[in-house]
Amino acid sequence: MNIFIVSGDTPAMGSLYSELRRNDYQVEGIGLTIEESIQKIQQINPDVIITDIDLKNSRLGEELNTIANEAEIPFLFVCEDADDSLYHRIKSTYPKSQFLVKPFNKYSLWSVIDSMGKTRTDVFGSNFVRNGYLFLKKNNIFKKINLLDVSFMYSEGNYSSIVIDEKKYLIKFSLSKLLTLDQFECFVRIHRNYAVLKHEILSVDFAAKQLTTKYQTLPFGRTYVKDIRRVMNIPFAKAL
């Protein structure tokens, strides 16, 4: 797991840096200026950003927040003094964040870090999925795709095509493998070639073996009838 520390109080965060390094996390950022940190974050795309900076009340803090939001990178806020108002402000402003108040032991720290790191799954090469978004890299530019905007996905051998409206994005990762990832649980496979969003299914024609979603009508295979019935809460036919 790749962790980046942006600190306004380097000595105080130095012990945290050492604690994480001893547990074999990849940790960077300590001792850098915020300007240097922003540049580095854009380069390495960390799994978690740890900070003791009040992002709301500084220009560079706001810039850091913008970059993190664009890449869906969660924050771990560390502070020595806290009250209800600070906690609720941070949780409402940064809903994907976590919050730790010093002093805390290493096990509390490791537990929080490990749970936050599960938000990202690498797919192929520099492509990854995090917090319900698929990030596809092409020519050093990441395309951010909201999985809930996907019209449907279809298999092309060892590749998968992800269709949004009239646009198609090709990824070198099979449809079978994609559907094993936790973040793709919102999809159901309806055919050896097709998968659709579960909540977008509008109707099923079992006689014609066709399924209609918000976006289109697609064929479904006999092998996937049980899965479709479960998703649609349609009772199974009783055996005679």
Q: What is the largest CA-CA distance in the chain?
A: 75
The pLDDT assigned to 209 comes to: 94
CATH architecture for segment(s) 2-118: 3-Layer(aba) Sandwich (3.40)
Task: Tell me the per-residue pLDDT of 82-141, one tens digit each, with 9 for 90 and over.
Answer: 778 888 888 888 877 888 888 888 888 888 888 887 778 888 888 889 888 999 987 777
Phi, psi of 167 (to 5 degrees): -100, 145
102 near 78, Cβ under 8 Å?
Answer: yes
- Where do the structural domains in the chain lie, given as residue ranges? 2-118, 147-232
CA 52 – CA 79 distance, rounded (Å): 6
- Whole-angstrom CA distances from 22 to 18, 19, 106 are 6, 5, 10
Q: The whole model's pTM is what?
A: 0.73
Amino acid type, 19: E
CA 105 – CA 47 distance, rounded (Å): 21
CA 204 – CA 210 distance, rounded (Å): 6
CATH number of 147-232: 2.40.50.1020
Q: What is the 3-state secondary structure (H, E, C) of the chain?
A: CEEEEECCCHHHHHHHHHHHHHCCCEEECCCCCHHHHHHHHHHHCCCEEEECCCHHHCHHHHHHHHHHHHCCCCEEEEECCCCHHHHHHHHHHCCCCEEEECCCCHHHHHHHHHHHHCCEEECCCCCEEECCEEEEEECCEEEEEEHHHCCEEEEECCEEEEEECCEEEEECCCHHHHCCCHHHCCEEECCCCEEEEHHHEEEEECCCCEEEECCCEEECCHHHHHHHHHHHCCCCCCCC
pLDDT tens per residue across all 240 residues of the chain: 889 988 766 666 777 887 887 777 888 887 777 788 888 888 888 889 988 876 766 666 778 888 888 888 888 888 877 778 888 888 888 877 888 888 888 888 888 888 887 778 888 888 889 888 999 987 777 888 999 999 999 998 899 999 998 899 999 999 999 999 988 999 999 999 999 999 999 999 999 999 999 889 999 999 999 999 999 888 766 544
Cβ-proximal residues to 176 (8 Å cutoff; 6+ apart), any chain:
155
CA 76 – CA 54 distance, rounded (Å): 12
Q: What angle do CA 105, 108, 111 make, to 5 degrees?
A: 145
Structure tokens at 125: 């090469």
